[in-house]
Amino acid sequence: MEAPIQGLSTQEVMDRKERGDMGKPPGSITKTKAQVFKENIFTLFNLLNFIIAALLFAVGAYSNMIFIVIIIINIVIGIAQELKAKKLIDELSILNRPKAKLVRDGREIVVETEDIVIDDVMVLESGHQICNDGIVLGGMAEVNESLLTGESDAILKTEGSELFSGSFVVTGKCYAKTTHVGSENYAVKLMEETKKAKRVSSELLGSMKQVTRFTSFLIVPLGILLFLEAIMLRQVLVSDAVVSSSAALLGMLPKGLVLLIAVSLANGVIRLANMKILVQNIYSLETLAHVDVLCLDKTGTITDGKMKVKEVLPLSDSTNKKLSPLIQSYLAASNDNNATFQALQEHFGTNSVYQQTYKVPFSSLRKWGAVSFHTAGTVFIGAAERIMNVLPSDVEHQIEKGCRAVVIGYYNGEWQNERELPDEIEPLCAVILEDNIRKGTAKTLEYFRKEGVEVKVISGDHIKTVSIIAKKAGLEEWENAVDLSSFGEITDYDSICMKYTVFARVTPKQKQLLVMAMKRAGHQVAMTGDGVNDLLALREADCSIAIAEGSDASRQISQIVLLDSDFANLPQVVLEGRKVINHVTRTAGIFFIKTIYSLLLSLFFLLFNMPFPFIPIQITLIDAFIEAYPSFLTIFESNTKRVRSSFLRTALANAAPFALTITAGIIFISLTLPFDTQQRQTIMYMLLILVSMLSVIKSCIPFTKLRIFICVTMVFGAFGALWILPQLFEISAMTRAMLSYIGEVFVGLLLFLALLIGIKQNIEKHDDLG
């Protein structure tokens, strides 16, 4: 800067705040409390249940309305759990919130983004999020506007250039006067819009929407037909018709499953929050369950990003006398603040010996930067192979040991071409830098390997440097590496994405293309990153994970943020999602059993003009003891097996044998049983309970102490309720003949169930082989 920028005075800031020329506090990244209440109360399932309850109330069937108590308890639990998760996420998001650096009263200060007022002077450096529109007053920076325009190329901003909120500084440093705040900004509510830039797809949410649409499509016409048939053809009382029809409809609604999914996800988010891991979207947790490829950025992820100069290797004798002042002048003029330049500044120091005339900021795309000085030529700093065509053996040796090498070159003249290097660069020295592998990295990578998650290392560094770092980190296939700078513009990413394990000299765009190719190959991809060069890949990945020590940009755009920057927590992040999916998938089949047999039996009894054999209070007992109780008691179990199949397909496949067995048994008894109506319905209900309990017992294999306790208490609880309150559940006393018949039919149903399970397993085996 030719003249120091004073910025606003304290009094000017106060005046603008009084006029209202300031931003508003950023909204929560989570749902509002009103949204939590609304989404848990006003659902289609709840509406249908309350309509059924109202109809039962209208005909005086009060005892059959007990199910509505369970619905209300579900709503309360769901709201309480989501609010608890919201509180933790909001507290952690404060740590993740970007701050703004301003110039006020002639000095640089850091403030919350909502404290910025119009005409404030923002100080913008590499990795900073541009949170307000502005005009550049001085300096030079390259800005990524991909969130606004979709174009990934960085745009050079110099004095007089416009800056837009919603973009990020890639490299360089500039001072900009704020022109808009709050709702007048180009990108209103930047943080929320950043999250919307990539929507999270949820298989669980999508599956439940499919089930909701399907059951809703059938439940109304079926309910009307069942009611009209009872009134017009069988000429029963209106109250009896409502009760019978309501039981059929209640059975079709997997009521507790929606709550189970919400509570499971919320519990996962809470567990991660306690580990200082911020999940910025609750459904991001689910995507982690399906991840089978994890892409790691080297610097800042595998390593701690804190580099230091190991040694300086001279490459020329002609300019040794002015080498130090040239480097110090370059570092004083440069606005680059990445780990490499911080290490160079610490080693060489900064001193404006020469007056700068022009500078080209260092970028990960160019892999070099330059500063021209008045009468002193131009100094270049860049990747060794960019500045030199052939590397000396001692430099190669250091690279082979896993160190990073940057070369400082000199050109006798001014250079303002930002795309090409001059042919007459004279290499002055090679600076050898080293960084530290994060603690626990080898153990973490080994854990992923055992869990079936393939790890890829993607870096902009030299291929030998990246490979050796990968070797030191414990990556088994560290030698399976490729240098993407050797590929032309037309590259077959689909063939190389899974062929290689280590990718070096990768540009930001190439990182994105690699992730896209892996997704096209059918993989679920997670990407970790800490810098603006990772932005495109982070946005493209199924799950994006940022390191808190990284840039504002990477933290704001990622779904998961490791607030303590602990790489060793990555396995827990990935596997926490598996716990949720595996638990929900295991228990969802139990909920769908009732949905399937209720639908099939409704169609059967409608076709044969027979009353539905159960009443709402009986269905409620199954909801409570056989569905809800076992499912929610095992919610904290840890099953981290790899998720290989579709949630809905697996859940329905697990439910089908039991649902078909129940349907076959009820139909058989309806057509053949010689007992009276009350006894016949009691026998049907007993067999219904027994087969439903078998599904829970099967889902609990392999048994643990908790699962044995659940199965035993489920049996005693359900049958105990029937024994204590037979009149409430409208069951008749059991006779010896009834018990004998139940035993005979139950044995037959067991054989039928075993046959169906065998067929299911053969189909699954055939699918696996296919």
Q: What strand order describes the sheet that includes 560-562?
A: 277-279, 560-562, 543-547, 525-529, 293-297, 454-458, 502-504, 481-483
Residue of 205 and 48 predicted with greater confidence: 48
Are 506 and 459 contacting, i.e. CB atoms less than 8 angstroms apart? yes
Instruction: Give the mean pLDDT of 115-137.
Output: 88
Instruction: Give the mean pLDDT of 534-540.
Output: 85
Tell me the C-alpha distance between 194 and 191, whole Å: 5
Beta strand segments in 299-440, E = 308-314, 356-360, 368-373, 377-383, 404-411, 426-434
Q: For residue 302, what are the contacts with CB-CB under 8 A and spacing of at least 6?
A: 296, 437, 438, 441, 457, 469, 470, 473, 567
Determine if residue 208 is left, alpha or beta; phi over 0 gives left, psi from -120 to 50 gives alpha, anything else beta.
alpha
Give the bridge partners for 175, in sequence order: 123, 138
* Average pLDDT score, the chain: 86
Any idea which of 191-200, 256-265, 349-358, 536-545 has the lowest mean pLDDT? Answer: 191-200
Predicted confidence (pLDDT) per residue in 613-646, tens digit: 999 999 999 999 999 899 888 887 878 787 777 8
Q: How does DSSP classify residue 700?
A: T
Tell me the C-alpha distance between 379 and 368, whole Å: 11
Q: Count CB neighbours of 542 within 10 A.
A: 23
Bridging pattern class, strands 121-125 and 167-178: antiparallel
Predicted confidence (pLDDT) per residue in 382-421, tens digit: 999 889 988 899 999 998 888 889 999 999 999 988 888 9
**Amino acid occupying residue 104:** R
Q: What separation in angstroms does the CA of 659 have from each of 13, 389, 666, 757?
A: 70, 71, 11, 11
Domains (range + CATH), the chain: 274-304+438-573 (3.40.50.1000), 308-324+335-340+348-434 (3.40.1110.10)
- Residue (of 658, 598, 593, 601) closest to 627 by Cα position: 593
Residue 693: band (very low, low, confident or very high) from pLDDT cuts 50, 70, 90? very high
3-class SS of residue 381: strand
**Amino acid occupying residue 670:** S
Tell me the C-alpha distance between 745 and 354, whole Å: 97
* 567 pLDDT more than 80: no
Any idea which of 85-94, 97-106, 132-141, 202-211 has the lowest mean pLDDT? Answer: 85-94
pLDDT of residue 537: 87
Bridging pattern class, strands 502-504 and 454-458: parallel
* 76 pLDDT more than 60: yes
pLDDT of residue 2: 46
Whole-number percent of the chain with pLDDT over 90: 36
Predicted confidence (pLDDT) per residue in 729-766, tens digit: 999 999 999 999 999 999 999 999 999 999 998 888 77
Tell me the C-alpha distance between 12 and 769, whole Å: 73
pLDDT of residue 194: 44
* 531 pLDDT more than 90: no
Q: For residue 559, what are the contacts with CB-CB under 8 A and spacing of at least 6?
A: 200, 279, 280, 281, 284, 287, 543, 544, 545
Are 357 and 500 contacting, i.e. CB atoms less than 8 angstroms apart? no
* 3 pLDDT more than 60: no
- Residue with the two structure tokens 């929560």: 28
pLDDT of residue 188: 53
Are 378 and 370 contacting, i.e. CB atoms less than 8 angstroms apart? yes
Residue 24: band (very low, low, confident or very high) from pLDDT cuts 50, 70, 90? low
Instruction: Give the mean pLDDT of 484-490.
Output: 81
* 259 pLDDT more than 70: yes
Residue 708: band (very low, low, confident or very high) from pLDDT cuts 50, 70, 90? very high
Instruction: Give the mean pLDDT of 351-375.
Output: 88
Instruction: Give the mean pLDDT of 600-620.
Output: 93
Q: For residue 611, what are the contacts with CB-CB under 8 A and spacing of at least 6?
A: 230, 234, 236, 240, 244, 605
Instruction: Give the mean pLDDT of 8-21.
Output: 81
Bridging pattern class, strands 377-383 and 404-411: antiparallel
pLDDT of residue 639: 80
Q: What separation in angstroms does the CA of 379 have from each of 115, 139, 339, 430, 732?
A: 39, 18, 19, 13, 96
pTM to 2 decimal places: 0.75
Instruction: Give the mean pLDDT of 353-374.
Output: 88
Predicted confidence (pLDDT) per residue in 189-230, tens digit: 444 444 444 555 678 878 888 888 888 788 888 989 999 999
H runs (alpha helix) in 558-642: 570-607, 616-622, 629-633
Residue of 721 and 675 predicted with greater confidence: 721
* Active site members: 297
* 29 pLDDT more than 70: no
Residue 96: band (very low, low, confident or very high) from pLDDT cuts 50, 70, 90? low
Cβ burial of 135 (10 Å; 0-12, 13-18, 19+) is: middle
Instruction: Give the mean pLDDT of 112-126.
Output: 88
Residue 437: band (very low, low, confident or very high) from pLDDT cuts 50, 70, 90? confident
Instruction: Give the mean pLDDT of 697-725.
Output: 93
Q: What separation in angstroms does the CA of 186 have from each of 2, 98, 183, 536?
A: 30, 18, 8, 21
Q: How does DSSP classify residue 188?
A: S
